[in-house]
Amino acid sequence: SFLEDINNILSSGEVPNLYEKEELGPIYDSLRPVAKRAGVGEAADELWAFFVERVRANLHVVLAMSPVGDGFRDRTRKYPALVSAATIDWFHAWPIEALTEVALKFLDGVVFPKSEAPADAAGGAAQEASAKGSGSKSSGGAARASAAGAAAASAVSSKQ
């Protein structure tokens, strides 16, 4: 299975029987010059060990799994290297204010055409009209704020 292969790569750096004997020749041939510069011998077992070490040093894998339910616990028990040989980043839901701030930061300076300016369900159009009337924000800022609020609300509601 896929997770079994990932577990093997994480724990030992290789997947058993991944390559046929015929496939190893071209790998060794392309690896010989690099191995020679690194002071590694040309025997097949030395080249294989060098190859595995290079894979372990250069292969980066990102897995995204939900920690909700029994599935995550079952997978980590069945494939222990997912925990012992990996870095786990836990991401929790963000507050709406943080999502809005990030969206506003990335949308700063973006000018939305009038026909494409989204309005959120809570009255983005009224917010834009109010901003125009008060002169406190440009209509572009109100549109960005409205778009950011709608995007943030959508992100929060889809995670719940």
Q: What is the mean pLDDT of the chain?
A: 78
Nearest-angstrom CA–CA distance, 7 and 5: 5
Residue showing tokens 């690099």? 34
Count of H-run helices and E-run strands, the chain: 8, 0
pLDDT at 132 over 50: no
Same domain assignment for residues 40 and 71? yes
In a domain, 109, yes or no: yes
Mean pLDDT throughout 95-120? Answer: 82
pLDDT at 78: 95
Which is nearest to 80 in space by CA: 157, 151, 7, 6? 7
Same domain assignment for residues 126 and 152? yes
Domain hosting residue 132, numbered range: 96-159
Question: How many domains are there within the chain?
Answer: 2
In a domain, 89, yes or no: no
Q: Is 148 helix (H, G, I), strand (E, B) or coil?
A: helix
pTM beyond cutoff 0.75: no
Same domain assignment for residues 101 and 75? no
Same domain assignment for residues 80 and 100? no
| CATH number of the domain where residue 25 is located | 3.40.50.300
